[in-house]
Structure 1
Amino acid sequence: MRQSLIAFPNLLDRMLDLMSIKQTSRDRADLIEAVCENVWKYCRYYKVSIETSGDMPRPSSESQQIRWYVPDEVGSRIAHSDQPNGRMVPFFYIPRGVCYSVFWSNCDLLEGDELTLDYVEHIKDPILRPLYLLPWQPGDFSDEPVQHSFVLSEEFFQSHRVQETLPVDSSTSESSVGESKLPLAVFTDIELVSKHLTDPRFKLVTAEKDASILWIYGHFKSFKELTEDRRHQMVNQFPGEQVVTVKDLLAAIASLWASSTNMNDDCTQEDCIDNRLTCNWYPITFNLVHELPAFVSYFQQKQDRINTAEAPSPSVCAKAACPRKQIRGSRAASADFPPTCERNLWILKPWNLGRGLGINISENLNQIIRLSDTNPLIASRYITDPVLFYREDINANVKFDVRYVVFLRSVHPLKLYVYNVFWLRFANKAFCLSNFDDYNIHFTVMNYRENDTLKQIHCDEFIQLFNEQYPNTTWRDVQANIYNTIVDLFVAASSNPAPRGFVPCDQSRALYAIDLLLEWRTRKVGPIGAGSQCHFMHPVICEVNYSPDCKRACQYHPDFFNHVFSCLFLNEESEKCNVTQLA
């Protein structure tokens, strides 16, 4: 919307009049910001299905797009009422590609009657209605409890559980797969696997019944039948793995882990609350379907603290060898940093979409409320102080994230490996805490965007550049912390029985891609005052992907799937598979 307001001055003038925003002496940028902030009181939405293409199957929900629109001056003047006298719905006229708003009354109207609508007519719960009406009817909900409750319960996990049968107990040893007669027959419906699995110890077959290994994209549900079948087939999935691959379940796992590990009493009241809400490798997250009251309360409490807080002092590091010293780039050029005010910023993600789809960043509670009405979403604390990477080609410090591919061979005992090649994804513009609708500033997934630049740097080159840019630390140390975080994740995800954790299965193997950010955090190094804290880099998990897009992996490392299958199904030594054993 911002770009449209910039490009069409008349549209801005019309929106200002529609919203009754006085222009006074404010400059145009401020007026555009005011419209973007207030538009959530006026806009409505509809969903359209679009054609998708690609070499990988995609869930049907990824083929839907949400289109926001603002009714004209007449439609925008129709007020809310809990006892409305009419309804208004979008009507999409396909021949012209135009969407109209159709209004009709639901009772007899007299001359002079005011037209009204129920803005949240689909919300019947008396507890939730005031929350969904916040954009039009402000209220204070900061006294509501913020602690997680339902999302930690077995009922919540059970409601997400795919109806899969669980494996029966088996005495089959893990090594028996590698002792099977070679070559092992592989059935796969994934083109990249069939094209790049060239190791002669494996052969492709066209029927599932003839295979020793099933490497499939769709969700496998018949684990009981699998373990009872004498063919002793292997499959590339674990029962219960959705606890890490589905975003709201991963957030719940992090909260469960926090309740068993965060026992630090030496913290402020706010920090203690945060420590109970999540663990240190996952941002504070609320499920907006089940925890909207808790989220609104947390948001309003935090906003109150921000509004009453004193201006922060510059962050001065006491250590001469502060890891934040950066050779190039202005933002982190020394150990003395300008004060950064706390922000109430949240990133909203659909529960079960990938490829950066449907994600928004906002500190506008009205916007968050409206977006939460479109799809099942989680709201996670946005990382406002990420470790940046200097891109010489654009002379800017940009946001980046790291993707590690891990192989899970066993849950109990945990046998976990990480591929020695990792992948980087970079934003295309200098990072800043503004313009949150500018994809090239705040997002790094460019693979599927035709008009955006995809910056590629091999991990070996990245390590060298990173060590040059941050001379007071090494990627080896950073990666060691990342490895510990990955292990912690899988320990947390396998610490509880189904449905709140992985289910052990001798005939299961799996590959996952883990996306992480690095965040600047501080630790105490002396008495309170100037120089009492030192910065360090801390890994934060963004998401875990099942059956990730491995196109780049195969393009630059043609033996990738040979390594995957050798590690998982032949139990080959780590050195031969280009992996490092983590657990």
Structure 2
Amino acid sequence: MADNDEYDRFLQTHEFQLLVNNIPKHFYRRLYEKMKNEIFDSGSYFQLCPADDDDEELEGTYNAERRYYVSTLQDIVLDPHNDENAIFLIDHAWTYRIKDARNNLTTIPTLYERMASLMNIDAETKEDGIELVLQRMWKYNQTYTLTSTQVETQRDCEETYEPYWYIMDELGSSIRHSNTNANVCCTSFFFGPSQTMFSIFYPIVRIDQPYTEIFRNFVYDNNETLDRSIRLLPWKHLHARKTFLRHLTIENSSELFNQKLQNSLEIFEKCHQHDLYDKKQILMNDSIEIDQDRAWKVYTDHELVTQYLNDKHYQLIDDPDQADILFVMKQLNEFRHETIENKLISQFPFENIITNKELLALTARRWKSLYGSSTSDNDPYIDSHGSPPWLATTFNLTYELSQFAVYFQYREDQQLDNTWIVKPINLTRSIDMSVTNSLDMIIRL
């Protein structure tokens, strides 16, 4: 009875993950039991086999540098519809944050040796080997970010949401990619009771032939688009990758470079879709009289303001509706007159076109399209892209990944510096910011 209660709680608290990962319901009970008891039974169903570079199943240019592949054992049948046990756990060999990767490889005993073996690296020195691991790990990396319901309250700060990266164990890391023959699905799953992140995989088609290799799809979007091809580049042989990108020049792929993101209203409208304001009355409130004898009620979500605002003229309160002053970090969407009348606020409508990094770059590019001129005699990609001369060339990788990858290859061929700063859209300061010249890393980020 107690175990049934625990299982019911598991279903309730993990419902979102179960649904988002499209895990079939008949796997739920066995998945719960395996995670609860840490049952890693894949060795009874699968084996590692040495990879043959001439193997046609390599799909031409994919799966470079993998030493092994994974196949079923001789008498194994996996039915995705009826076999409740056909869901398996994968252990994580290394979990880290990007800023800690080099130090981990240097200081954690046997970690470098395990990663070098897993990634098929044979270097003369450990220092050289670590450099190769840091380059090649993007072919193996998986990632997750904990949500606010998965972290302790006292640690619930912005740094908590910085992504974790992980390398699966030898079995998980040896499952190869296929565009057309994927027969298992692999995903990460956070088990709340033990606060453990697992990787899990299960069949999506019936597997009944002896020694069948299992494949997964590294990019879940099955639409044959250019962006999908770009996202698969980290797993391509280097020569094939460069040939592919060199074909996408500004001369023979003009339609790709004629798409001007700065001329699209989609991003601006998306950022302001929930804004409420008076179109005819967005005014500075200069009618408030400053009474130095009263205590001004302040609502804030800023920890430092809460800690240090102790002057007698101010009173911190928890209800923003009762406040005279709103000093908030969270972006305000409500600017209607009846809401903010007689309040002093620390923001103004639409300020995020200069405070949000992705909108600032687009605003600068729109300025150049209206008032600027050609910025480079030698770089046609910069002129096509639209960055003004006073702003570092900036790509929004959500929308411009293909254009960026082509430009990256162009700069490499021109022997120009190819170091880029990569920043997440939704985090402040330098959290999760990376500086790199690795195209694999930039695509995977």
TM-score normalized by the length of structure 1: 0.49
What letter matches 1:150 in structure 2?
L
- Correspondence 1:221 to 2:333: yes
Deviation string, structure 1 residues 497-519 (Cα, Å, up to 9, x no partner): xxxxxxxxxxxxxxxxxxxxxxx
User: 1:248 — aligned with what?
Assistant: 358
Of 166-175 and 6-15, deviating more is 166-175
Q: Distance in 2 between matches of 1:210 and 1:5?
A: 53
Q: Which runs of 5+ in 1 are unaligned?
A: 307-341, 372-583
Following superposition, the deviation at residue 302 of structure 1 comes to 0.9
Tell me, yes or no, if structure 1 residue 20 matches structure 2 residue 120.
yes
Match of 1:111 among 196, 210, 213: 210
2:401 to 246, 269, 292: 292
- Kindly indicate whether residue 440 of structure 2 is the aligned counterpart of residue 370 of structure 1: no
Q: What does the per-residue CA deviation read over 1:532-563, in whole Å, with 9 as the maximum and x for residues that have no partner? A: xxxxxxxxxxxxxxxxxxxxxxxxxxxxxxxx
Amino acid in structure 2 at the alignment position of 1:370: R
Tell me how far apart the structure 1 counterparts of residues 216 and 283 of structure 2 sit (CA, whole Å): 63
Between the aligned partners of 1:183 and 1:31, the Cα distance in structure 2 is: 68
In 2, the alpha carbon distance for the partners of 1:126 and 1:81 equals: 16
Call closer, same or farther: CA 1:185–1:28 in 2, change over 3 Å: same
Q: 1:362 to 1:17 in 2, by over 3 A?
A: same
Distance in 2 (alpha carbons) for counterparts of 1:205 and 1:131: 51
For 1:91 and 1:194, how far apart are their aligned partners in 2?
37
- Greater percentage in strand: 1
Superposition deviation, residue 208 in structure 1: 5.0
Cα distance, 1:117–1:185 mapped onto 2, change above 3 Å: same
Residues of 2 paired with 1:146 and 1:4: CA distance?
41
**Residue 127 of structure 2: which of 29, 41, 45 is its match?**
29
Per-residue deviation, residues 213-269 of structure 1 (Å, max 9, x unmatched): 433444433322348x8x54332211111112222111111222232343256x422
Following the alignment from structure 2 to structure 1, what is the Cα–Cα distance between the partners of residues 153 and 217? 35
1:163 matched residue in structure 2: 274
Q: Which residue of 1 aligns with 2:145?
A: 47
Instruction: Kindly provide the CA deviation profile for residues 31-87 of structure 1, in whole angstroms up to 9, marking residues without a partner as x.
Output: 221121111112222333433648xx956xx53342222222222222111130111
Summarize the Cα distance change of 1:52–1:148 in structure 2 as closer, same or farther, 3 Å threshold. farther
Shift, 1:366, TM fit: 0.9
Tell me, in whole angstroms, the C-alpha distance in 1 between the residues paired with 2:316 and 2:111: 60
Which residue identity lines up with residue 367 of structure 1 in the other structure? M
* AA partner of residue 173 (structure 2): S
Give 1:4's aligned residue: 104
Closer, same or farther: CA 71–236 of 1 in aligned 2, 3 Å:
closer
8 Å contact kept, 2:143–2:163: yes
- Number of residue pairs matched? 325
Letter in 1 for 2:442: I
Letter of the aligned partner of 2:373 in structure 1? M
Q: Secondary structure of 1:119's match? A: coil
Q: Which runs of 5+ in 2 are unaligned?
A: 1-100
CA distance in 1, matches of 2:394, 2:429: 20
**SS of equivalent residue, structure 2 residue 361:** helix
Q: Secondary structure at the match of 1:255?
A: helix
Q: Secondary structure of 2:277's partner?
A: coil
- Identical columns (%): 30
Judging changes above 3 Å, is the alpha-carbon distance between structure 1 residues 112 and 29 closer, same or farther for their aligned structure 2 residues? same
Q: Which residue of 2 aligns with 1:79?
A: 176
Inter-CA distance 226–301: structure 2 relative to 1 (3 Å threshold): farther
3-state DSSP class of the match of 2:412? helix
Distance in 1 (alpha carbons) for counterparts of 2:316 and 2:189: 49
1:337-348 map, 5 Å: 342-348=416-422
- Structure with the higher fraction of residues in helix conformation: 2
Distance of aligned partners of 1:72 and 1:192 in 2 relative to their CA distance in 1, 3 Å threshold: closer
Matches within 5 A, 1:53-452: 53=154, 63-83=160-180, 84-93=182-191, 98-109=196-207, 110-122=209-221, 124=223, 126-137=225-236, 138-139=240-241, 140-141=244-245, 142-143=248-249, 144=253, 145-146=256-257, 149-170=260-281, 175-177=286-288, 179=289, 183=293, 186-190=296-300, 192-193=304-305, 203-204=314-315, 206=317, 211-226=323-338, 232-264=342-374, 267-270=376-379, 273=382, 277-306=386-415, 342-371=416-445
- State how far apart, in whole Å, the 2-side matches of 1:108 and 1:186 are: 68
Q: Which amino acid aligns with 1:287?
A: N
| Helix, strand or coil at the partner of 1:69 | strand
Query: What's the CA shift string for 1:153-197, capped at 9, x where partnerless?
Result: 2222101215122234359786544x5655576332236546756
| Native 8 Å contact 1:70 1:76 kept in 2 | yes
Matching residue of 1:516: none
Q: Which residue of structure 2 lines up, in the alignment, with residue 401 of structure 1? A: none
Instruction: Tell me the TM-score normalised to structure 2 length.
Output: 0.63
Task: Give the partner amino acid of 1:74.
Answer: L
Task: Give the conservation status (yes or no) of the 8 Å contact 1:81–1:118.
Answer: yes
**Aligned 8 A contact 1:86 1:105 in 2:** yes
Q: Deviations 1:312-367 (Å, cap 9, x if unpaired)? A: xxxxxxxxxxxxxxxxxxxxxxxxxxxxxx42111111112114212122111111
SS in 2 for 1:269: coil
Q: Output the amino acid matched with 2:215.
A: T
For 2:143 and 2:424, how far apart are their aligned partners in 1?
17
Which residue identity does 1:11 align to in structure 2? L
Residue identity matched to 1:285: T
Amino acid at match of 2:418: N
The separation in 2 between residues aligned to 1:6 and 1:133, in whole angstroms, is 30
CA distance in 2, matches of 1:17, 1:204: 61
Residue 283 of structure 1 aligns to which amino acid in structure 2?
A
Q: 1:119 to 1:186 in 2, by over 3 A?
A: same
Quote the offset at 1:97 in angstroms.
5.2
1:285 is paired with a residue of what secondary structure?
coil
- Supply the distance in 1 between the matched residues of 2:117 and 2:283 (Cα, whole angstroms): 73
**Change in 2 beyond 3 A, CA 1:362/1:123:** farther
- The separation in 1 between residues aligned to 2:224 and 2:292, in whole angstroms, is 60
